[in-house]
Amino acid sequence: MEWNGKRVLVTGAGGFIGSHLAERLVELGSDVQAFVRYNSAGRRGWLDSSAVKNEMRVVAGDIADADSVLAAVQGTDIVFHLAALIGIPYSYQALSSYVSTNVQGTMNVLKAARHAGVERMVHTSSSEVYGTARYVPIDEDHPLQAQSPYSATKVAADKMAEAFHLSFGLPVVTIRPFNTYGARQSARAVIPTVIIQCMNGGAVKLGNLSPTRDLVHVSDTVAGFVSAGSAPDVAGSVINLGTNTEISIGDLAEKIAALMGTPLAVEQQAERVRRDGSEVERLLASNALAKEKLDWSPQHGLDEGLPPTIEWFRTHMDSYHPDVYAV
């Protein structure tokens, strides 16, 4: 498909993955509308510092407000829905907010996309919906298990997308990224947490060290989204984006510290440990379906993806607070 001139909406465009995706779509020549959360300061998240911020239209609103979503979707060819509340620890404290944003917000986008007759909607899921792996690699037929309020709302949102496809024929495809990392990621994620604490000196405070994760560089995740927006015959599909490799949190911390040339002393902090029954012990993706349907495979392993990520954080430490646990 030719992206040049395509009218594209990205919700959550001020966030980590959303800002990278919006920029990539601008590079491809799309007519990009970026939906960001309204705030009285007029800030647009990471788009405020984007080199191409003037080449997209930024619309502020609230994904949980049906009217603002409907207005944003009108006249759009393709919708990429990334707006979500994603912090797992905070979901224990603010469940209603997660339901409002992740479930109600997704329904608002689905309804607006149906009303507008869009060519394609790409809905964002999460590997957290699988819970701890019952078998590996995890394919898209793996059972879903909500081990946190956050993952429960993502399961509900995924099923809402499935229902809109089966009930109303909405051409929606669900992309399920495994743990994405890279420039601009929140300090609530493990890689930024380790990097900024290593830069700050002293012990690196973490939660459980034994769980494993399948880590995908943000440029690869963005490539998967772009493919999902254009690939034929994917409506109704759920597709993993993962590397088919895993690393434990403890080994990851050691790898990052070694790349940074920093001695590593890890201190387990109780508030960073997930609640009993909530920890997802193992995530390891099968990406066979992504290769088949999207012609997608990851181009960056940790050895390629971590060095530029570390360098980006070196030059953006003023955006982070290494002494504060980011929930």
Q: Where in the sequence numbering do the catalytic residues fall?
A: 150
Q: Left if phi > 0, otherwise alpha if psi is -120 to 50, otherwise beta: which for 283?
A: beta
Dist CA 98 CA 111 (whole Å): 19
CA 230 to chain centroid: 19
Closest by CA position to 309, among listed 189, 175, 209, 177? 189
CA–CA distance, 307 with 295 (Å, rounded to integer) = 26
* CB count in 10 Å sphere of residue 299: 12
CA distance 258 to 6: 44
| Interhelix angle 66-73/105-116, nearest 10 degrees | 40
**Parallel, antiparallel, or unpaired: how do β-strands 172-177 and 204-206 relate?**
unpaired
Contact 123, 174 (CB under 8 A): yes
Assign residue 244 a region: left if phi > 0, alpha if psi is -120 to 50, beta otherwise? left
